[in-house]
Structures are given as C-alpha cells and as structure tokens.
Amino acid sequence: MLRYAFARILGAIPTLLLVIAIAFLMVHAAPGGPFDSERVLPPDIKENIERAYHLDETLPQQFYRYIKGVVRGDLGPSYRYRDFSVSELIAGAIPVTMRIGALAILLALIVGISAGLIAALRRNTVLDRLVTGIAMIGISVPVFVFAPLMVLVFAVTLKWLPASYTGSDGADRLLLPVIALAMPQIAFIARLTRASLIDVMNSDYVRTAKAQGLKTLSIVRYHAFRPAMLPLISYLGPAFAAVLTGSVVVEHVFGVPGVGRFLITASANRDYTLVLGITVFYAAMVVFLNLVVDLLYAFVDPRVRTR
Amino acid sequence: MTTSTHIKRFSARGLLPAWFFLALLLVACGDSGPPSVQESVLRRGNGAEPESLDMHNAISTEAGDVQRDLGEGLLGFSPTGELRAAAAERWVISDDGLEYTFSLRPEARWSNGEPVTAADFVYSFRRLVDPATAALYLISVTNIENADKIIAGELSPGALGVAAVSTHEFRIRLNSPVPYFLSLLTHPSTFPLHRASVERLGDEHLRAGNLVSNGAYKLQERQVGSHVELVRNEYYWDNENTKIDRVVHYVTPEPMAELNRFRAGELDMTRTIPPESFVQMKDERPDEVRTSPSLAVYYYGFNLTKPSFRDNPKLRQALSMAIDRETIADEVMGRGETAAYGWVPDGTANYQPRRFSYADMSRKERHHTARQLYREAGFGENNPLTIEVRFNTSNVHQRIAASVQAMWKEVLGIGTVLINEEFHVLLANVEQKDITQVFRLNWSGEYNDAHTFLSMFESDNPSNLTAYQSVEYDSLMDRAAAQTDPDRRKVFLAEAEGLLLNDHPAIPIYFYVNKSMVSKRVQGWGDNVLNYHYSQHLSLAAEE
C-alpha cells in the first residue's frame, strides 16, 4: 500500500508541472497586464514596475524563474497584493477554506446518508418522495441564489445568525456558509445513497439473507450498508474538490477570507503569480484527494486490495 | 475489531453521535469572545481588499481610506472637503509659486512615540520616486524638481527637490508652478514613512506590531480577505479630539453582501449601495442613505484613429446629441447621477465648468440638429452607419449601452453592435486602437482641480485613449500651466474645455455620485466630492 501511495505521489509531479505550464501560458496569453487601468501608466513608471517584477524578461525566462521558485517552495510575489507573497496569501487562506470545506463535507455526509437511507428503506412512500424532491431542489437551486436568500432570512430579517463570516467571533458565523456549501452535496449524496442501497438490496446475497429470515434493518447493518457506500467513497474526492472550488461564491457572499475568492479576483486582476499559485494548489488538492479516495476504496473493499 | 462492530459504526443509528460531533466541531471552531463593549468601534465596509498598506505601493481608493486613517500628510481635508493643516501646521509659498516651505507640528509623533521630522518627509519623498520602489502612483510628486529624471533612472533619488531645512522645516521645490499642489499633498503617497523600521524590517514593516505610523490610528491586525483593524494611536498629536477607539475596515467586495451586512447591523457604513437596492433603501432607510456629487464622469470615447470618426466632428456631435442623458441618469441609473453636458463635473474647486452649446436645447431641437449633422457628415437613410460599442461586462454598462443603441436607432437610424468584454480585454483593445470604434470608460478626478479632467486629452498624456490631437488644446493647457494667477489660469482651462466640447473626442454621459449607507449612530459625517471620510472625524452616538 505504501509503495503504491509513493508511486502515485511521484506520478503526480509531471501532472502538476504540466498544469503549471498550461496555466502559465494561458494567463500570459490573456490580453492586458497586471498594472493596466483606465489611468495608463507613463512609460518610465511602467518600465520600473516591469523591471521590479521581471515582466521585462522573455516568457521562457519568466517561466524558468517561476519553476525555480516553485521547486524551492516560493510561489513568487503577488502583483496585486504587494505586501504579501503568493505563498503567504494561500497559506493564510487555506485553514479557513479547509475548515469550512471539511465541515460542509461532514454535514453533507451525515445529512445526505441519513436522508438516503430513509428514502431507500421507505421506498415509494411519502417520505421517499419528500427526500427525493428536496434533493432535487438542492441540486437544482444554485448556491448564488440559495446563499443570499439564507442571509436575507436568517441574518437580515430574523437576525438569528450573522450575515458574514466576520459578523461574529463565535461558531455561529460558520453555520450559513457551511450549510450553503453543503446543500448541493447533501442532495447529491442523498440520491447516491438511495440509489446505491436500493441496488444492493436487490442483489442475490441480500435476497438469500431475506430468505433466511433476517430483518431488513439487520440486513442493512450487516450486509448492505458497506457495499452501498462504495460509490459514495468514489464520489468523495470530486465532492471535496467541488466544495473547495464551489466555495468561490460562498466566500464572496459571506465574506469568508478563504482561497476561493482569489480564483476570480486574481484572474480579473491579471495577478499572474497568484493565479498560478491557486492553480497549483487546486491541482495538488485534486491529485491528493484522488489518491486518498483510491486508498480508502482499497481499505473498504477487500476485492480492490487483493487485486 | 470484528467486521460486525466495524459495520455498526457506519449504520444509520450510528450516525446520531456524528450529529453531536458536528455540533461540537462547530463550537470548537469558534474563536474568542467579543471585544470590550466600552470601546467605541467603527465598522466600515471598505469594498475590495486594499492592495497594500505601503504608502508607495497602493493606488486604490480602498487602500487610500485605510492609509488616511493610519498616516497623515502635510495637509488633509475637513469632513466637508476643505483643505486644512495636518502634519504641517503652516506653510509659505514663494512668489514665483515654485518653493513651498512647511513648518511641521513639533508635537507630531510616530506611533512609537518618536517625533515626526522633516527628515522623515525627505526620506519618504525620495523613496517614492526611487525606481527601485516601483511605485504606481507618482502624480503627486512628478512636478517636484528632478522627479522625472529620477524616475527615468537618470539621476539618483538624492537629487529630488526636497530638503529638511531644520528638524521641523521641510521644503519642496517645483519645476513649474502647480496651483493645486497643496491638494496633492493630501494623497497617501506623500505621507511620511518611518525610515528606521522600513530599512530594518523591509516588507515586514507593514505587519501588525511592526508598522509605525503617524496618523490617528495604528495597525492592530490584518487578515487578507477579511479586515484591517486599527486602534487609537495614543501618540497622535490630536488624539484628545479623536473619538473612535477602534476602526475595522471590512473587506466587502460584493455590494449586495455589504448592504446585507449593514442591514444585519454588522457595519456602520458601506462603501456603496448596489443599484438594484437603491430605491428600496431610500424608502426604508431614507436617513441613512448618503449621496453627494462625485468627481467622476462616465463616458463613451471615440477611437480617433479610425476613418469614420477621425476628421468627422459632425458625426461625433450628432452621436452625442442623439443621447438622452437625462433618461440614462434618472431612469437607467437613478441613484442621483446627473446628466453630463460637459467634461468637468460640478463641484470642482475654483472652476466653473463649461457646457455643450446644445445643453439647453429641447429634446426635439437636439434630435433635429443631430439628424442634420448626421446627414452633413455623409450618412443617411441610403448610407446608414453601423457602429461597434465596446464596454466591460456589467449589468449597468449593458443597460446603458442598450439605451444608447435604442436612442441612436430612433434618432439617427444607426445600427449599433454591442460588444461586452472582460475589463482588461477592453483596456487592451482600447489602448491598441486596432479594433475599437466606440468604448465605454470612466474618469475619476485624482485631485480637486479641473486639470485632472482636462489634462487627459493632452496629446502626450498616456491616458488620452481617444488619440485626440489638437495643437490649440495643448497650447491652452500649456498656457494654463504657466499661470500663477488663478483667475487667468481658470480662463485658459475653461477655453480648453470649450474646445474639447466642440471637438467631441468623447461623449460624457453622466457624472457619478458618491453613495453610502451610513448608520444613524455615526456622527460627524460630511459629504464631499472626493468621498474622503477620515475615521478621526467621526464619532458614534450611544446605542438606542
């Protein structure tokens, strides 16, 4: 298992390099530069700035300089937020994004699995239709509609919860962002759990268990639950990645100082190094999460392990 | 662990403890309790993240608002926008308008208790023009002797025309008279820096605990994307008149989210009011909606390198006359914006703005003349014109462009293609002048003087994006620049604006308005065209 994990990590290095190279070319191909504005800079001032940030060098020189820095763990200075390096900006934002992301996934798993189990075990009843219907709404209503709506109801009108992450120092500031972020995942996990459990419950060995007189709940607990969770585990990696990238809207609406906001502002500002830094971060996260899911899959399903 | 117990952990019933775990985790994620209630804390919505707290590295209004709380220049503004003494208590200007000698307040102190001296200003001004600093905003100092040569790398920063005459006397020598020079010295780029900490700590001098500042507040905490927190600078010379103990500038890039935070009671003031909520706020909270004229103009520029518009002022005037500015200002915008019939906004200091010759015509007369000019320009029903209008992606710009499209169609029969582009793409296209025909941009005054609006059309100004070239205009601007008599200068500037309005290199559409939600608790707020609101001028009434 360890050797497998090590090989996967080594294999990720060329992938990451390729991602950096493509992202580097793309950000530099986009029209405009980081210091453009309606107030056009006089040539001498522009030259001084470009020299300070090595933007006067050729593209290959800039790429070499960047890669050299990345290898040393230096993602360069931010062109926009000039008081910070890109590493400092990302490092400062990761804990916030991770905290909200992890809580959202946890909430999605608990609520989603609970709802999915109930719907599957009470198939074709009002309860099932209710769960399926709510899940459908959860998937269909985009976060940018759902999140501001929650703010209007719970913060502005009822004044139960803060409207923003910085509106309180307590845990209540996490509730709305976490729910908003978890909502689509709850819906998806509920539907996935329901479908998967129904599928497992129709399999031959479950039928055999039923024939032997075991109660439904016992069958679920001892025979069906674990195999039914396999598709969910496969989904966990993309789900966590979706939660991290999906945090862009949530972070904007709730003023959460996480990584997601940088995704939009950095590219809008042509903050080349920050765009690249965020890309490297997300790429590394996706590679890492896929690895974790594969290892988890092997852990849960003995068939994968023996193969 | 047996298989059965392992499975049991995943069972439906087993999920119940997980709920408690989640609740526990949420609680554990909370931080310390609220700050002391005795303190007077002002919570400001500050828009986008300030790009830097370094006085020489920032250019945005968001950074400027924080920097004006942290630092103090030679001069400042009153709440209603009048120039007044700040770090300098008085000054003398030589008869030729070239030499300014400032007497600094002997009681002025840095936040570490050290005195603020003329040497601090000398160091700061030299650092600003030093090419190694790579400063973005140098407009305040480009008229100082040798500044341009230092920026170009031809002279060392030590050659700048600034000097410490004595510990508390600071002198500046200019290349040519600049009547609005005192107002330039209110800009944060001219604030002094604490040399010892900058040189000892490098970029680290900007961190909380390291930053030594000379304003009413000092830096307590900064969390990127969240807030910049300032606390009272006990050593500030006017500390006893500073009412607010703590100021938190919250990062609020989304206007609607900012407004919701205000409505939820989390902010005392906002940077702006989103267009879609303005009328609602006017109805619901009329006492808290603050609007005032702004030194900014929204315009459509012509690419004068293109044949249709170059050498065709009649066509440009026809297009300008066909736009019903009142409809755009009042109905499309509707937040107090005013129709722009000139280039320099009302409220600009020491200046009476000029207006288009057709400003007072009735709509019918304007449209009639527009059609006549359109025909004289060589177009008509048999030879209709099709124009591309480029603007950056935004609902507001889209709505305005659609209105202009309809007006041009109705009055002149012109077909207009609307092209929205990401802001930097638009800027790149406008600068390149290859494919652009008509473009939307705006211009904000950097200082309260007509010069900031009129200079952008000088032939050699890099911000002259229309490529307008007029020897006569340049000459009028040069003659205005050479005047030491403010009245004569005003005449030349007005003549230049008149020429500009006659030539129509751009179509001014409306003048912006400053708009903020300001809680009834906030006292001492003053409306001013530059929209500067120093926290030290404000106070908070007791909670109701």
pLDDT single digits (tens) A246-269: 788 898 889 899 888 888 889 888
- Residues B423 and B339 reside in one and the same domain: yes
Q: Assign residue B516 a region (left: φ > 0; alpha: ψ between -120 and 50; beta: otherwise).
A: beta
- Domain contains B24: no
- Domain contains B372: yes
What confidence tier does A46 reach under pLDDT thresholds 50, 70, 90?
very high
Interface check for A12 against chain B (CB to CB < 8 A): the answer is no
Q: Which chain A residues touch B141 with a CB distance below 8 Å?
A: none
The residue type of B316 is R
Interface check for A157 against chain B (CB to CB < 8 A): the answer is no
What confidence tier does B33 reach under pLDDT thresholds 50, 70, 90?
very low
CA distance A13 to chain B (A): 30
Which pLDDT value is given to residue B161? 98
Which pLDDT value is given to residue B442? 96
Residue (of B448, B48, B79, B82) closest to B252 by Cα position: B48
Evaluate if residue B17 carries a pLDDT over 60: no
Q: Do strands B169-173 and B75-77 pair parallel, antiparallel, or not at all (unpaired)? A: unpaired
Which pLDDT value is given to residue A137? 87
Q: Which chain B residues touch A268 with a CB distance below 8 Å?
A: 422-424
**Bridge partners of B540?**
B522
Q: In what helix (H) or strand (E) does residue A304 lie, and over which residues does it extend?
A: helix A302-306
* Beta carbons of A40 and B465 less than 8 Å apart: yes
- Residues B435 and B324 reside in one and the same domain: yes
Evaluate if residue B3 carries a pLDDT over 60: no
DSSP single-letter state for residue B209: T
pLDDT, tens only, B400-444? 999 999 999 999 999 999 999 999 999 999 999 999 999 999 999
**Bridge partners of B420?**
B391
DSSP single-letter state for residue B289: E
- Domain span at residue B199 reads 37-259+518-540
Q: Say how far apart CA A187 and CA A114 lie, in whole Å.
A: 11
Which pLDDT value is given to residue B306? 87
- Are B376 and B321 in contact by the 8 Å Cβ rule? The answer is no
DSSP A232-245: HHHHHHHHHHHHHH
Residue (of B238, B239, B244, B270) closest to B255 by Cα position: B270
* Beta carbons of B30 and A172 less than 8 Å apart: yes
- Supply the CATH classification number for the domain A86-306: 1.10.3720.10
Interface check for B265 against chain A (CB to CB < 8 A): the answer is yes
Average pLDDT over residues B375-395: 92
- Domain contains B19: no
Its pTM stands at 0.89
Q: Kindly report the three-state secondary structure assignment for every residue of B300-348.
A: EEECCCCCCCCCCHHHHHHHHHCCCHHHHHHHHHCCCCEECCCCCCCCC
pLDDT, tens only, B63-94? 999 999 999 999 999 999 999 999 999 999 99
Q: Which chain B residues touch A215 with a CB distance below 8 Å?
A: none
Residue (of A180, A173, A193, A194) closest to A107 by Cα position: A180
Average pLDDT over residues B490-516: 97
Phi and psi at residue A84, in whole multiples of 5°?
A: -130, 155
> Three-state DSSP class for A123?
coil
Phi and psi at residue A261, in whole multiples of 5°?
A: -60, -35
Return the CATH number at B473.
3.10.105.10
Which pLDDT value is given to residue B34? 44
Average pLDDT over residues A155-170: 88
- Domain contains B245: yes
**Bridge partners of B387?**
B416
- Residues B116 and B222 reside in one and the same domain: yes
Q: Say how far apart CA B243 and CA B452 lie, in whole Å.
A: 34
Interface check for B257 against chain A (CB to CB < 8 A): the answer is yes
- Residues B527 and B477 reside in one and the same domain: no
Q: Which chain B residues touch A162 with a CB distance below 8 Å?
A: 264, 266
- Residues B233 and B130 reside in one and the same domain: yes
Interface check for A132 against chain B (CB to CB < 8 A): the answer is no
- Among B54, B225, B250, the residue with its CB nearest the CB of A261 is B225
What confidence tier does B12 reach under pLDDT thresholds 50, 70, 90?
very low
| Buried b or exposed e, range B103-124, using 16+ CB within 10 angstroms | bbbeebbbbeeebbbbebbbbb
Average pLDDT over residues B320-336: 94
- Are B541 and B523 in contact by the 8 Å Cβ rule? The answer is yes
- Domain contains B269: no
Evaluate if residue B365 carries a pLDDT over 60: yes
- Residues B239 and B305 reside in one and the same domain: no
How many angstroms separate the Cα of B394 from the Cα of each of B48, B147, B251, B406, B440?
17, 39, 21, 18, 11
Evaluate if residue B37 carries a pLDDT over 80: no
Average pLDDT over residues B137-149: 95
* Beta carbons of B134 and A83 less than 8 Å apart: no
Which pLDDT value is given to residue A305? 59
- Among A103, A156, A162, the residue with its CB nearest the CB of B26 is A103
- Residues B105 and B188 reside in one and the same domain: yes
> Three-state DSSP class for B404?
helix
CA distance A14 to chain B (A): 32
Phi and psi at residue B246, in whole multiples of 5°?
A: -140, 135
> Three-state DSSP class for B464?
coil
Residue (of B274, B311, B352) closest to B467 by Cα position: B311
Question: Six-digit token pair at B534?
Answer: 């120093």
* Beta carbons of A117 and B12 less than 8 Å apart: yes
Chain mean pLDDT for chain B? 92
Evaluate if residue A2 carries a pLDDT over 80: no
pLDDT, tens only, B259-296? 999 999 999 999 999 988 999 999 999 999 999 999 99
Q: Which chain B residues touch A171 with a CB distance below 8 Å?
A: 26-30
Q: How do the domains of chain A map onto residue ranges? A: 86-306
CB within 8 Å of B383: residues ≥ 6 apart: none
Mutation test of the interface with chain B: which of A28, A35, A40, A169, choosing the one with the most B Cβ atoms within 10 A? A40
Interface check for B442 against chain A (CB to CB < 8 A): the answer is yes
Q: Which chain B residues touch A256 with a CB distance below 8 Å?
A: 225
Q: Say how far apart CA A102 and CA A97 lie, in whole Å.
A: 8
Interface check for B136 against chain A (CB to CB < 8 A): the answer is yes
Average pLDDT over residues B144-154: 97
pLDDT, tens only, A196-206? 999 998 889 98
* Beta carbons of B427 and A174 less than 8 Å apart: no
Q: Which chain A residues touch B152 with a CB distance below 8 Å?
A: 44
Question: Six-digit token pair at B266?
Answer: 């989390």
Return the CATH number at B178.
3.40.190.10
- Are B517 and B290 in contact by the 8 Å Cβ rule? The answer is yes
Q: Which chain A residues touch B31 with a CB distance below 8 Å?
A: 169-170
Other residues' Cβ atoms within 10 Å of the Cβ of residue A252: 19
Interface check for B422 against chain A (CB to CB < 8 A): the answer is yes
How many domains does one find in chain B? 2
- Are B438 and B389 in contact by the 8 Å Cβ rule? The answer is yes
Mutation test of the interface with chain B: which of A46, A48, A299, choosing the one with the most B Cβ atoms within 10 A? A48
Top-confidence range, B311-315, B376-380, B400-404: B400-404
* Beta carbons of B203 and A159 less than 8 Å apart: no
Least confident stretch, A45-49, A67-71, B159-163, B480-484: B480-484
- Among A31, A81, A173, the residue with its CB nearest the CB of B425 is A31
- Domain contains B274: no
| Buried b or exposed e, range A143-170, using 16+ CB within 10 angstroms | beebbbebbeebbbeeeebbbbbbbbeb
ipTM: 0.86
Q: Assign residue A85 a region (left: φ > 0; alpha: ψ between -120 and 50; beta: otherwise).
A: beta
CA distance B4 to chain A (A): 6
Q: Which chain A residues touch B210 with a CB distance below 8 Å?
A: none
- Among A113, A155, A257, the residue with its CB nearest the CB of B264 is A155
- Residues B57 and B192 reside in one and the same domain: yes
- Among B22, B227, B428, the residue with its CB nearest the CB of A107 is B22
- Are A76 and A277 in contact by the 8 Å Cβ rule? The answer is yes
Interface check for B423 against chain A (CB to CB < 8 A): the answer is yes
Which pLDDT value is given to residue B357? 95
- Domain contains B416: yes
Interface check for B27 against chain A (CB to CB < 8 A): the answer is yes
Q: Which chain A residues touch B49 with a CB distance below 8 Å?
A: 81, 265
* Beta carbons of A38 and B260 less than 8 Å apart: no
Mutation test of the interface with chain A: which of B27, B206, B224, choosing the one with the most A Cβ atoms within 10 A? B224
Average pLDDT over residues B122-145: 96
Least confident stretch, A73-77, A181-185, B34-38, B274-278: B34-38
pLDDT, tens only, B454-493? 999 999 999 999 999 999 999 999 999 888 888 999 999 9
**Bridge partners of A114?**
none
Question: Any idea of the CA torsion for A276, A280, A286, A292, to the nearest 10 degrees?
Answer: -170
* Beta carbons of A226 and B7 less than 8 Å apart: yes
Contacts with A, B 392-411, CB within 8 Å: none
DSSP B117-185: -HHHHHHHHHHHH-GGG--S--TTTTTBTTHHHHHTTSS-GGGSSEEEEETTEEEEEBSS--TTHHHHT
- Residues B326 and B411 reside in one and the same domain: yes
Phi and psi at residue B290, in whole multiples of 5°?
A: -115, 125
Average pLDDT over residues B9-13: 42
Mutation test of the interface with chain A: which of B25, B61, B439, choosing the one with the most A Cβ atoms within 10 A? B25
Which pLDDT value is given to residue B544? 57
Which pLDDT value is given to residue B23? 53
- Residues B196 and B180 reside in one and the same domain: yes
DSSP single-letter state for residue B349: T
Residue (of B211, B197, B492) closest to B354 by Cα position: B492
* Beta carbons of B28 and A268 less than 8 Å apart: no
Percent of chain B with pLDDT over 70: 93
Which pLDDT value is given to residue B151? 96
Q: Say how far apart CA B463 and CA B466 lie, in whole Å.
A: 9
CA distance A88 to chain B (A): 10
- Are A249 and A147 in contact by the 8 Å Cβ rule? The answer is yes
Q: Do strands B41-45 and B246-250 pair parallel, antiparallel, or not at all (unpaired)? A: parallel
- Residues B200 and B299 reside in one and the same domain: no
* Beta carbons of B424 and A30 less than 8 Å apart: yes
Q: Tell me the angle at which helices B313-321 and B363-376 cross, rounded to the nearest 10 degrees.
A: 150
**Bridge partners of B162?**
B172
- Domain contains B27: no
- Residues B375 and B485 reside in one and the same domain: yes
Evaluate if residue B7 carries a pLDDT over 60: no
Q: Say how far apart CA B412 and CA B415 lie, in whole Å.
A: 9
Q: Say how far apart CA B269 and CA B527 lie, in whole Å.
A: 13
